[in-house]
Structure 1
Amino acid sequence: MANQPVVFIHGLWLHASSWEPWAEFFRNEGYDAIAPNWPGECDTVAETRANADDVAGKSIDEVTNHFAEIIDGFDEPPVIIGHSFGGLITEKLLGLGYGNSAVAIDPAQIKGVLPLPIAQLKSGLPALGNPANINKAISLTEKEFKYGFANELSDDEAHELYEKWTIPSTVRPIFQAAGANFTVHSQAAVETKNEDRGPLLLISGTKDHTVPDVTTDATLKQYRDSNAVTELIKFQGRGHSLTIDHGWRDVATEVLVWLRQQNVVG
C-alpha cells in the first residue's frame, strides 16, 4: 500500500525548497511528501532570482490550477499544506474538493475577511505601493523581509533566512486579495460553505505582521456555515517565518499530531 501523499505549497517570496526540512520530517514519519514549484519558478533559489520575469504576473487562479493538475496526478487525495499565499491556495483547493485534508499556515486573507491591520498594510507596501507592480515580479529588501517575516527573530537569523530562501515573486495575488471584497468574481474567493470537504486546520502566529492573528481569526469565521471540521491553532509569539525559522519543527509536529487525530496517517 502506498504511503499517504503530502503536497506543500509555499507563499510569496520564499522558494519551494524552503519546505525541504518539512518534507524530510514527513517522509521520516511515513508520508510521501513533495514541495512543487510555483509556475515559472526555477528549481533553485539562485536560478529563480536570475529569471524573475518568469514568475511575473501569475494570478491566484493560475497558481491554483497549477497545483490542481499536480494533485490530479496522484492515485489518492493528498494532504495539502500551505503557508501564506500558499495557505490561501490550499483553502481554495480544499473547497473545490481537492485533497483529503488541509493545513493553512498564516494564510493570506480570502474574500470576506474584513480586518486590515496597519502591520499587514505595511507588509504589503512593497507590492501595493505602486499599481504598476501588478504585472511584475518583486523582491523584498532585507529590511522588508525582517519586518514582514522575521520580526520575532534575531538579526543574524533573519539575515540567514533571507539569503537562503527568498526569491522574487509575482505580486498580482496581493492585488487580487486586497480588492477581493470589491470584486464580484474574485479569485481570492473560497468555497467555505462546502460540507463535503476534508478537515481544515488554520494556524496563526500571534506576532505575524504579514498575516496578523486577527486576520486568521476572521478567516475561521468564514467557515461558520459549514459543518466540516475547521480548527485553529495559535503559536504564541511567532511571526510569519514560523515555517522556516528555528522553531519550524514545533509547528510541523503540531500539524502531524492534528493529522493523526483526523486519522490521516503515513
Structure 2
Amino acid sequence: MSSSTPVVFIHGLWIHSTAWQPWQDLFREAGYEASAPGWPGDLPSVQATRHNADALAGVGIDDITAAYRSFIAGLPSKPIVIGHSFGGLIAQKLLASGDAIAAIAIDPGQIKGVKPVPFAQIRSGLPVLKSPANRKKAVSLTAKQFRYGFGNAISQTESDRLHAAWTIPGPGRPLFEASTANFNTTSPAAVDTKKSDRGPLLFIAGGKDHTVPEVVVKAAYKLYAESTAVTDLRVFPDRGHSLVFDSGWRAVANASLAWLKSQSL
C-alpha cells in the first residue's frame, strides 16, 4: 500500500458527508489520503444543507456518480472507494467503470438485478416512496423515521443524537430509480457484475439493518458470481443501518482496513 493511496468516502441518502470524519482520521493514521466529498447540492455543513434543501431536489444516481467521477479525476491516482447505503451503490459503479482500484460497499443501495424486497426495506423507504411527487423533491426524515430505518439496533438516546447531528434532506429520485431498476432496461442502478478485470470488492451487511436488510446485500453479492475478480462478504449480525457513524463505527472501519491489507492495498 502506497502512503499516498487515496480513499474516497461516499455517503448515503439522508446523511451528511461530515459523518465520515472519524473514518477519515483513522484512515489517515493508517497512511491513506482520505476525503469525503458530498453529493451534488450538499453544502459544507449539516445546517447549511438543511437550509438549502432545494439544491438537492431532483439529483439522481447518474448525477451523483458523475460528481464523484469528476472528483476522482482530480486526484493524483485512482482511489479506493468506500460507500454506505446509496454510496455503496455508487462505489460499485465507480469500480466497474475503472474509476477506482477497489471498493467497499457497506449496506449498499440495491442495484439492478436484486430481487428481495423485505417489508422492513419498504417501510424504511416510505417517507419518499409514498408520494410520486417526491421524485422531484428533497425529503427529510423525522426522528421516528430515522429510528426505524437507521437507529433500530442502538438506543433511543443515541438514535436521536445521531439524527440531530447528521441527517440532511435527501433527494427522492435515487430511491425511485433503485425501486424500479428491474423494470427499466436503462436503469442508472445497473452495474456490470460480470466484469472480471476490476479491483477487489467487499460487501458489508448489518444483520439488523432495516433500510438495506442483510438478505438484500447477500443478493447483490450473489450477482457477482460470474466474475473472477475478488468479491467478499462480511456480516455484522447485531448492527443496523447506522453502523458506519454510530458508537460501533470503529469495528466496521477496522474490518475494512484489515480487508484492504489482505488485498495488499
Category of TM-score, reference length = shorter chain? over 0.9
Give the structure 1 partner of residue 146 of structure 2.
145
Kindly report structure 1 stretches of 4+ aligned residues shifted beyond 3 Å: none
Residue ranges of structure 1 left out of the alignment (5+ in a row): none
| Alpha-carbon offset, residue 129 of structure 1 | 0.2
Residue ranges of structure 2 left out of the alignment (5+ in a row): none
Q: Report the Cα distance in structure 2 between the residues aligned to 1:3 and 1:59, rounded to whole angstroms.
A: 31
Give the structure 2 partner of residue 167 of structure 1.
168
Give the structure 2 partner of residue 41 of structure 1.
42
Tell whether 2:30 aligns with 1:14: no
Give the structure 1 partner of residue 68 of structure 2.
67
TM-score (norm 2): 0.99
Q: The residue matched to 2:260 in structure 1 has which SS? A: helix
Q: The residue matched to 1:244 in structure 2 has which SS? A: coil
| Alpha-carbon offset, residue 221 of structure 1 | 0.8
Give the structure 2 partner of residue 263 of structure 1.
264
Give the structure 2 partner of residue 224 of structure 1.
225
Q: The residue matched to 2:72 in structure 1 has which SS? A: helix
Q: The residue matched to 1:224 in structure 2 has which SS? A: coil
| Alpha-carbon offset, residue 37 of structure 1 | 1.0
- RMSD across aligned positions (CA): 0.7
| Alpha-carbon offset, residue 191 of structure 1 | 1.1
Q: The residue matched to 1:208 in structure 2 has which SS? A: coil
| Alpha-carbon offset, residue 2 of structure 1 | 5.3
The answer as to whether partners of 2:7 and 2:33 remain within 8 angstroms in 1 is: yes
The answer as to whether partners of 2:3 and 2:32 remain within 8 angstroms in 1 is: no
Give the structure 1 partner of residue 208 of structure 2.
207
Number of aligned pairs?
A: 264
Q: Report the Cα distance in structure 2 between the residues aligned to 1:56 and 1:43, rounded to whole angstroms.
A: 17
Tell whether 2:118 aligns with 1:121: no
Q: Report the Cα distance in structure 2 between the residues aligned to 1:4 and 1:251, rounded to whole angstroms.
A: 20
Give the structure 2 partner of residue 100 of structure 1.
101
| Alpha-carbon offset, residue 73 of structure 1 | 1.2
Q: Percent identity?
A: 54
Letter in 2 for 1:26: F
Q: The residue matched to 1:6 in structure 2 has which SS? A: strand
Q: The residue matched to 1:75 in structure 2 has which SS? A: coil
Q: Report the Cα distance in structure 2 between the residues aligned to 1:181 and 1:159, rounded to whole angstroms.
A: 35
1:62-100: CA deviations, max 9, x gaps? 000100011111121111000000000000110111111
